[in-house]
Amino acid sequence: MNVQIIDLLNPLWRETLQKVRHDTYHLPEYVLAEAKRTKTTPEAFLMVDGEKIFFLPYLLRQCDDILPTKSTAQGIFDAVSPYGYPGILLSEAAASTPGFPDSAIDELKRTFRSKNICAAFFRLHPILNDNINQIFKPGTVTENGITVSVDLKLSASQIKSRTRKGHKSTINKCKRLGLTTRIVPYLEYLNEFMAIYEETMGRVEASQSYYFGRSYFEDLSKLGDGIHLCLVEKGDQIASACLFLECGGIVQAHLGGSKTEFLSESPFSLVFDYGRYWSQERGNEFFHMGGGVGGSNQDSLYIFKSGFSQQRHLFFTMRLITDEEKYYHLVKLRASALETDSATLLNSGFFPAYRALP
């Protein structure tokens, strides 16, 4: 059995991806873009035992940023998934060998402790990790919500028949109004996309975690043929835009939005309608639209997405305390800085608790 931490320059990263099914979120180019955006260190935990492979990419964060001044939080780290749904990659042999996934988590915890990493928060992949709760022992993962995807193995007529009646009417209305949809060169229309996305985030009062700088979007261009920009246009005006990430038979609707002046026409309906048939024509298996904000299956965003397909996936997260002494030390420091008590942070539902917002 071989256990190691690897960086993006290690050839094992790409070699491992060639052996297991993966998504855009696992690619070195994507993880690097996220690391630069978040000012973190990109790494991956790799455990191999013959044909059994456990691979987990993450971003390493320093914990001294949780306090306004330098403190004893220096030298302590935590780990978090890149934005999206990276999850854990398990080879078939690894997933089907009882005890191996749990032993990998035990090794992960030991390795993290040796690196002064006190906690880790991982977002799991709704499709690639669809039965993750059955692979690990109870309590290892937390169910966080539901996501929606289109089963592209269905015929085009079956996909259409599984569309909510109201959505069908909206799609037809958009087409009658002269709205059209197409894929355009990514960098050529980057300015237009960013303007629409940022306008959308401002309109919905999104948290800062949903804002991405220009350098991030430029870095995503390194995905090459794996990134696509979908536009909905009315005449010479762009009404909606969305990024599609394509890898391993999965197309992810990554980030998108609509201009406020076109909201009454619901142009984003055409993004998802076009995206699913476009993805199917390219031979993919899933067009994944994600879920609601924060994994919610109750908000308007989830309700909107759920009208395009009846296929659902459970979304899980993994929350690990790898060094209890350091973890609760940080909780105490953060509570003191916020003039509250540790119990308040621990009961907030946020993980890690020392990063809970005031």
pLDDT score recorded for residue 293? 79
Q: Which amino acid is at 107?
A: E
pLDDT score recorded for residue 297? 67
Q: Which amino acid is at 195?
A: A
Residue 270's pLDDT band, with cuts at 50, 70 and 90, is very high
pLDDT score recorded for residue 171? 97
Mean pLDDT of 51-55: 98
Residue 1's pLDDT band, with cuts at 50, 70 and 90, is confident
pLDDT score recorded for residue 81? 97
Mean pLDDT of 261-267: 96
pLDDT score recorded for residue 272? 98
Residue 306's pLDDT band, with cuts at 50, 70 and 90, is very high
Instruction: List helix spans (H) across the chain.
Output: 11-17, 28-38, 92-96, 100-114, 132-135, 156-161, 165-176, 190-203, 214-220, 268-281, 300-306, 324-337, 342-346
| Residue 191: other Cβ atoms inside 10 A | 11
For the stretch 113-153, pLDDT in tens is: 999 999 999 999 999 999 999 999 999 999 999 999 999 99
Instruction: Give just the sign of the alpha carbon dihedral 281, 158, 256, 8.
Output: negative
For the stretch 160-175, pLDDT in tens is: 999 999 999 999 999 9
Residue 295's pLDDT band, with cuts at 50, 70 and 90, is low
Residue 68's pLDDT band, with cuts at 50, 70 and 90, is confident
What are the structural domains, with CATH classification, of the chain? 2-146+316-355 (3.40.630.30), 154-284 (3.40.630.30)
Residue 4 has pLDDT above 70, yes or no: yes
Residue 45's pLDDT band, with cuts at 50, 70 and 90, is very high
For the stretch 226-261, pLDDT in tens is: 999 999 999 999 999 999 999 999 999 999 999 999
Residue 210's pLDDT band, with cuts at 50, 70 and 90, is confident
Residue 298's pLDDT band, with cuts at 50, 70 and 90, is confident
Residue 292's pLDDT band, with cuts at 50, 70 and 90, is confident
Q: Mean pLDDT across the chain, nearest whole number?
A: 95
Token couple for 345: 């942070």
| Contacting residues for 302 by C-beta, under 8 A, at least 6 apart | 145, 146, 148, 291, 292, 296
pLDDT score recorded for residue 70? 64
For the stretch 341-353, pLDDT in tens is: 999 999 999 999 9
Residue 317 has pLDDT above 70, yes or no: yes
Buried b / exposed e along 153-178 (16+ C-beta atoms within 10 A)? ebeeeebeeebeeebeebbeebeeee
Residue 154's pLDDT band, with cuts at 50, 70 and 90, is very high
Residue 73 has pLDDT above 80, yes or no: no
Stated pTM of the model: 0.94
Residue 217's pLDDT band, with cuts at 50, 70 and 90, is very high
